[in-house]
Structure 1
Amino acid sequence: MGIAILENWPTPISVFLLVTILFLVALFYAANFKSEKSELKFEDLILVIFTGIGALVTYWLNVSLDIGVVLAAGITGLFSSFLPFINRRSDILRELPVAVYCGAFAGMTSPLVAGGYGFIMAAGLFSGLLLVISKSTLNGFGGKLGSIAFGGVCLVSLLIYLAS
């Protein structure tokens, strides 16, 4: 948002609209953010790992088999949806499809952006961390998993940019 404001600095109407949108989004998050103390569990580590696996599988299906990102993400999500049927009473198996599908969104990153499998694995793991952190927020709102994956890819891109 800051970059958009800087790019549109000469036109005051654009800056006003962007600042207004930023204010309204911040107000929305402040009103809907639940301040629950939650402690990280071992199951959360499993979710982070499976988010990375979902990203790797999707990227591999897209790059190696050349089937396209949408179909690759769909196949990854389809197979992950069967994981809870291994043991229907397991709480962690019920949460794995969400983590894998979040990783699938991170795995949809273009090979032009991703430097390879290392980038995708890092993006998947960062997405998994963001997923675990935001587990109790924004439930019921569409686009949460894609936004989390976008955040993970952006974080890895930023780290690579800062390291070079």
Structure 2
Amino acid sequence: MKDISVFFTVKFMAFSVGLISCFLLHQTFSLPSVLSAAIIGFAGSFIPKYQFVNSHPRTAVYAGAFAGMCTSEVIQNVNELLFVSAMGALLYTAMRQHLNGVGGKLGAIAFSAVALLLLLKGVVS
């Protein structure tokens, strides 16, 4: 259980960094969302590997960057950024043994995390 909580914490922090960085590049500096995600993904590729988490922080940053491609109409405040980060990290942790490979998994995790936010906002309002 301790290993999973450490894994989730690392995922949450990495996903948050990717999400917030991409979102800010896109919203603050008016960079195209694809370019913002590419910049963050490239920067995330330089995160060193650690034995316990292997290359997972790198991929979590990139998945977060995918989620950060949202417009400000979808993610409107810090609480929503944290919610998407938590859902993304939770989904990544739950799927780490499934969906082997990277192709499609990161985008699916990012899409699902943002979709959960939209679903929650729809139910609440």
TM-score range, shorter chain: 0.7 to 0.9
Using the TM superposition, give the Cα deviation of residue 90 of structure 1 relative to its aligned residue in structure 2, in angstroms. Answer: 4.0
Distance 2:64 2:102 in 1: 18
Distance 2:25 2:102 in 1: 28
| Residue 159 of structure 1 pairs with residue 120 of structure 2 | yes
Question: Following superposition, which runs of at least 4 residues in structure 1 exceed 4 angstroms of deviation?
Answer: none
User: Which residue of structure 1 lines up, in the alignment, with residue 8 of structure 2?
Assistant: 44
RMSD: 1.8
Using the TM superposition, give the Cα deviation of residue 124 of structure 1 relative to its aligned residue in structure 2, in angstroms. Answer: 2.2
1:78-110 superposed Cα distances (whole Å, 9 cap, x missing partner) = 1110011xxx55443632110100101110112
Q: Give the gaps of 5 or more residues in structure 2.
A: none
Matches within 5 A, 1:1-164: 40-84=4-48, 88-92=49-53, 94-140=55-101, 142-164=103-125
SS in 2 for 1:110: coil
Larger radius of gyration: 1
Distance 1:89 1:122 in 2: 26
Q: Give the gaps of 5 or more residues in structure 1.
A: 1-38
TM-score normalised by L of structure 2: 0.87
Distance 2:91 2:117 in 1: 12
Identity percentage of aligned residues:
31
Structure ranking higher on relative contact order (CA contacts 8 Å, 6+ apart): 2
TM-score normalised by L of structure 1: 0.68
